[in-house]
């Protein structure tokens, strides 16, 4: 809580990892991989990527982004991270040999040192504590290839204005609901 105010954002980002895991495990229990659930604006922002590029999806859920990109012909390396074991188990059923899946909170995931072309937060950045966000963005920026980008999709920028402020202060381009940092 900031300033004594209890908001959904404060609860969402400050919940202990076990609570986040239990909440998302329950939500994903009946979910399947559905490329149609991937927002078109996010897919379009990734169109310039080369077919062999590498993407890190922080808060990947069941892997809808990977599935949608594969349907568009993208063959690159995909790293998906989600706090939900259930979501990751579903994602692994895709049996995609050029994908790897990790169960972890976003803040605690060790960002790979391999070169990445994109780091994506699709409706997931507001599960990170605001005070940890600038550091996380710097960590995500380090392995980006020249021209690589961090893309954060925020469904309701007004509701998540504190996160938008951090993104803009970090140099993100405002293409609401997408916020893009380019190396």
Task: Give the count of domains, the chain.
Answer: 1
Higher pLDDT, 8 or 56: 56
- 144-153 vs 99-103, strand pairing mode: unpaired
**63 lies in some domain:** yes
- Identify the pLDDT of residue 2: 42
Q: Are 82 and 107 in contact (CB under 8 A)?
A: no
Check residue 111 and give its pLDDT.
94
Domain membership flag for residue 123: yes
pLDDT tens for 56-74 read 999 999 999 999 999 999 9
- DSSP β-ladder status, 173-175 and 178-182: antiparallel
Confidence of residue 3 (pLDDT cuts 50, 70, 90): very low
pLDDT number for residue 22: 60
pLDDT in tens, 112-145: 999 999 999 999 998 899 999 999 999 999 999 9
Q: Tell me if 1 is assigned to some domain.
A: no
pLDDT digit string, tens, across residues 27-41: 656 667 778 889 999
CATH number of the domain that residue 39 is part of: 3.40.50.150
Quickly tell me which residue has 């020249």 as its tokens: 146
Residue 29: its pLDDT value, please?
A: 61
Reported for 166-173, long-range contacts at CB under 8 A and 24+ positions apart, including other chains, are: 166/130, 166/133, 166/134, 166/137, 167/125, 167/137, 169/134, 170/134, 170/137
Asked, for residue 24, whether it belongs to a domain, the answer is yes
Domain with 113 in it: 8-182
Residue 3 in any domain: the answer is: no
């Amino acid at each position: 809580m900031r300033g004594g105010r209890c908001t959904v954002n404060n609860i969402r980002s400050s919940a202990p990892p076990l609570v986040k895991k239990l909440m998302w495990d329950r939500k994903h229990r009946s979910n399947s991989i559905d490329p149609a659930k991937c927002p078109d604006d996010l897919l379009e922002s990734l169109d310039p990527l080369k077919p062999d590029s590498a993407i890190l999806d922080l808060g990947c859920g069941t892997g809808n982004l990977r599935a949608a990109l594969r349907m568009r012909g993208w063959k690159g390396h995909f790293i998906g991270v989600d706090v939900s074991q259930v979501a990751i188990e579903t994602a692994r059923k895709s049996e995609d040999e050029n994908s790897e899946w990790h169960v972890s909170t976003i803040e605690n995931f060790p960002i790979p040192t391999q070169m990445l072309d994109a780091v994506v937060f699709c409706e997931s950045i507001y599960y990170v504590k605001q005070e940890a966000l600038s550091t996380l963005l710097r960590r995500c920026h380090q392995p980006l290839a020249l021209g690589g980008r961090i893309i954060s999709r925020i469904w309701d920028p007004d509701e998540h204005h504190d996160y938008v402020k951090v993104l803009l202060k970090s140099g993100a381009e405002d293409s609401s609901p997408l916020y893009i940092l380019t190396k």
